Structure 1
Amino acid sequence: MPPITLVQEDWKRFMTPEGLSEKAGVPKHHFRKMIIKELIDNACDVGGGRLRLVDSDLLEFYDDGPGIPLEALSIKRALISSKHWRLGERGALGNGLRAVMGALYCLGGHLVVHAKGKATKVFVGNDGETVYVDQGETTDTKVRVYCDEIGNTPDLLSFKLTEQMAGPVVKSSKAIPEWFDDEAILDIQRSAEGLTVSEIVGQFRTGYQPCKPHELFTGVNAVELLAKMQKHTLERTPKVREVGAGLMPGWEYAQLRGERENIPYVVEAWVKATPKGSGSISVETLVTNRAVSLTGVNANVEKKGRVNFVTQNYRFHLGGSDRDKFTLSQNVDYRVILSISSPYFPIVSSGKAIDMEEFVYDLIRVFVTAGKKAKTALSKRKPKEKRITIKDAVEQLLPDAYEKVSEGGRYWANARQLMYAMRPDILRLCKIDKFDDATVTQKYLPIFQRPEWKIAYDNRGALEEPHTGQTVGLGTVEIENYRGRTANIGFDRAARPSMVFGNMPAEGRFNKLLFVEKEGFNQLIRESGILERYDMAMASSKGLPVVAARALIDHLAGTVDGFQLYVLADFDVNGCVLADSLVTDRDRYQFANEVNTTKLGVTWDQAQELHRQMKSEPVELEKYNTRVSYAETLAGYGIEKTAIDFLLGRHWDEFNEQPMRVELNAFTSRELLDIIEEGVSGPKVVPKDLQDLYAEASVRKRVAEYERKLRAEPSPRAPYGLRDTIAEMLSEDPDLSWDEALAKLV
């Protein structure tokens, strides 16, 4: 009996390691790399793509878009792709998300998609159906990947290169007819069910106007239509954008442009050489269309410096005169990153692997060119680079920093905010690794700040007035306001009586408290109107909160309906301790009420982004035992492991063993206000018993009307010798103030 013929639907190939390997174009041991590549590519296509390692079994992907549509995660869906138009998009055939879900099925993993206010767990069942499980509400837009050991994927950090390669490969929103052949247009026709000739022609950059625009495209001669569009093309050879030398600062760079069957491409190489080597070559990453590729490339230098590339099971080397022209020294070792960019790549299988044979010879040439530059750079004696002083750097950078932080003078700028805004450029210009913050904030800012700038310095004590008992902090903002204060008295000026009731209990005035670790932001927040808009009080401290602060918060939580505490604190050890100690029992104080708390900033996510912008700073934690104690404490507060490693400097990102911190001052004034606005919510206050308050408001309104009538009358004349009379009264009774004496005479 002949063997039974089995029919297998296409989607089932995504559910077996062998079938998925064919569909995705990668071997089984690269499935985790493929998941990472497809998701970071997807995020970068939208814009602002970011990859974050949470732990060994969890990665997160962020972008600035609306989030992945859940229906795109079905492996049973039809192939949906815009790659047919040959515009140089990331990926090859549009199977990326199907391949991700197939790989997670094979590896026993799943996704949690955060989008449009909802978190959804997504995985593939044994029947191939995609299962969606509601995980509640969310405010994030991200994808979380749960998969064993995905965080330990080799070369994980290389995928972060994709974050730096934003933008299209070709600056054209429409397809170029010259880049298509007969088979390509026929392939489009086979997938264009229901589309008209006009709709297809509209996808191309051509001046051709079809005679029968509403005719179905599937019913015309597609090859003849392509020829007509090519004849009337508006753009024959748009430039393919190179990634550029800036991808790898300090590495030598070369590029080479070419065409293959009228389709342009550019190949690039970044090379770094190390002395006293043996000619070994480490191809660290291959980039295709601004995305990290999973296609493996190996290289070596043979006799006489000739270079061989090995990829897709074939060995390639240059022939003819180029064989001896493109050679490298064997006295150094080479690290290399390669890139190919083109509107269209030929595919070698039903998977996504591009045909490297089409580009490998130019890759060898461009690598050797950059490699020679790298070898030459080693032998050159570097000229002594000019350094500038911190003082000169502050003078140069301060105007732009103030403009950015204060949003053109609209807001107060804290001195440390300005320091953080300048910090990356100070380090770069002065060629130093760190500097004393006070050198900038206390020594050089006062020298170079302009009179009209509003820069806030922290209080250094307080001024207390006699008679009134009012205190004025000895900080820039407080003294500026005090100097600008006037009596604001005039008989013809009716003072507006306050319709805001003083001495109200807390439940009648506010239902939210914003606790700020630093006092320097008080004026900024106060002037923004946020406190009034949300009926929110504000408190601040220097250092950890005292018992009185905890007692106040406990009291408010017990007496104010719906009370909510919001916290702004640095992302450092003390900031984490502060946020926890505000609401957690300690030996010196036990809470009677549960406190609803939200930390607005600096959160771990915010800290990572600011660290990437070089707005973090190192701290000193000298004793090992201290670090161990801190690690246990922070873990008890629910701080995740990677964040603890960042704060304590154990092995956070493999580039930095130094304990780090991120201050609130790293935000600009506008960024800080936006964080508060986006994080605070809830109703405004309406007291329960308004009867007596209504009566009081009525009295105040009538008093105001009576005062307005009095001030409309002729103003009384002061008696002759009034100043001498007041001076005599004060000499007789030194405890009086001048205004108390004046009141006795009226």
Structure 2
Amino acid sequence: MNFTREDWTLFRNMDTLPQKSGVAKHGIPKLVAKELTDNALDISDKVEIEGNYRNFTVWNDGDGIDPEKLGELFSINRPMVSSKLLRLPTRGALGNGLRVVAGAVIATGGKLYVSTHGHKYEILPQDNGTSDAIVVDEYDRTGTKIEVSLGDEYIDFKWAEDAVKFNKGTKYKGKTSAYWYNSETFFELLQATDSTVREVVEQFDGCSSTKAGKIAREYGRNRKSNELSFDESEQLLNSIRQESRPVKAARLGEIGELEGYSSYNKQSGTFALESTKGNYNAKIPFTVEVFTKEADKSSCQALINKSPSIKGIHASESNKKLNIWGSGFDIYLKCTGVEIVININTPYMPITNDGKEPNYRLMAEVIEIATTKAVNSYKRNSGSKPTDGSKRLTQKDVMLNNLNEAVKKASGDGTYRFSQRQLFYGVRPYVMEQLGIEPTYENFNKVITDYEAEHGDIEGIYRDSRGSLYTPHSGTTIPIGTLSVENYQRPEWTFNKVLYIEKEGFFEILKDVKFPERYDCALLTGKGYASRAVKDLIDYLGESQEELTVFCIHDCDKAGTVIYETLQQKTKSRGERKVNIIDLGLNPKEAIEMGLDVEKPDKKKKMKAADYLTPEEKAWLETNRVELNAMTTPQFIDWLERKMHEYDNGKVVPVDEVLKDELLNKVRYFTKSKVRERILQENNYEKQYQQEVISLQSKIEEKELRLKEMVIESLAASPEQIWKQPIESIAKEIV
């Protein structure tokens, strides 16, 4: 006699539920509270939890749950929720969470209630694995409240409380990325939904509705994604990737520095998931945040996307050393008596079983780097300083020892962005109090540059704008600073070249002769040496799928050659550029051939010429220099255009699909305008409009009696408005 059972039946028995939940039998109540809290936090940051260890309640202020779907959501025989297959840096890993909750209720004879959209529902599990939702009371609050009890089982809130505690900082605001899937996982994603190909493509980063339509057109109108073959799915994956670029780890969100912890370090990385039978591998970005503080006994807690991992990390002390290890990594630290929290932000966490046990092996190196740096910072911040004169505190010591407090002060405890100069004034009082000397901003800049080279950019800091970017055809010029670069979006198919100019004064000369438009070339300057923001902008532009060539022009002197060298190569603050930069000069040979005025350099300014020069060029620049300004405007334009022609890759001409879409859009636009004008004329639009305005005259006059008063009241209620906005609202009310 043979017996068979379906997989979902493992959820309804406390002896088999651990196989699906990933925790031991005694940990299931603790997991239930965590899963419900995680789901609430993925919906809204405003979450409340409470209970008495026999009952647990969680509430969030989201839009609520469709009552028609309650039974299905809490059914243990439903398949994995398809939306969880879309990889995103959120708390869910498998979509098993609500099935574990429902299974625990069944297995313990507990109770489960969901209150949403005006009613309280009791969830009643059925023997066939489905659930019914029965109205038992009214509900007069917004959002959703879930109440659960598990018979006589004790419900531990610790994981749920930690999920709320660490729900800080920023969240990922984008869509899933095509680079987060290899050939096999993308095919399985398509097989798990009956949505059309276009609907699926629209879920991906970089794919607007227009782009999705263009990509999906090749597979037939309204074709279902689960009808695609494996080869077709690979072709589709490649097409989506062509319309987007990999998502940087910095976009994934973070907790950021937390009050109560002595040190914080953040590192980022990527790991690959290779395809076994296809052509495309997945590239998964991740960040590791490590927090430390003093403790009587060392411990280590792991979080995944800000939520406690159900599989803990082990910590043990021996011979004044701390060993932390777990699922794929093993780290030894010269430290004891420290509490460590490790948070990993990633759209995909490799797991070892249905129960979400994480596998950190692919991230082990970055975890070790971040943990070691955080612990070293903890020891530096908390260690006592010698008082016997054996080691004298330096300005750098004091600045770094008090950097975290200065960041908190400058940012309003993490609420606002802040400038580097504001941060300087945050550490200045500590230096003056402890050393009795006035710190200099120049020295502070050096300390911060070295610090960020080791630890990464200080979260929340921005550099003041220095330089600008001019975009051809649009005529727009934007300042180049941290915030403007973070928010910049490259206009599609507008320019394929960028010219970095040491001096911003040449912008107007080039704009006057339409150089940017004739060459489809954006103009960029950092007013001398390129700032971090300029380098970040070039890297961002270089990541685009569109072709791009970057050029640099500068004075013919030692400083000019270093400007190009540092623009291209690695510095303390930034790595090497991701796009090759072509040096157009001015170089000594052409300066001499053009007969330009030669000056003697300032001997007081000690500087070496760039390493890429020949020995003869270096020797000449020791005693000579020529400015770009030594050329007349006709000479400068002629020289630049001759140099550009050596490398010119022509005007921007988009791919066929873009050209066809643009033609169709323009035809539609002009046709729509033509038809609209004809309809308006045929229906005597102007006369009807005038008559309508006359009919509203009495309402207008009524509002005019209190118009100024209403505007003042509206501005007081919403000060961010301009006076025209209240007027617009009043006009809409009249009409």
Output the TM-score relative to the length of structure 1.
0.45
Output the TM-score relative to the length of structure 2.
0.46
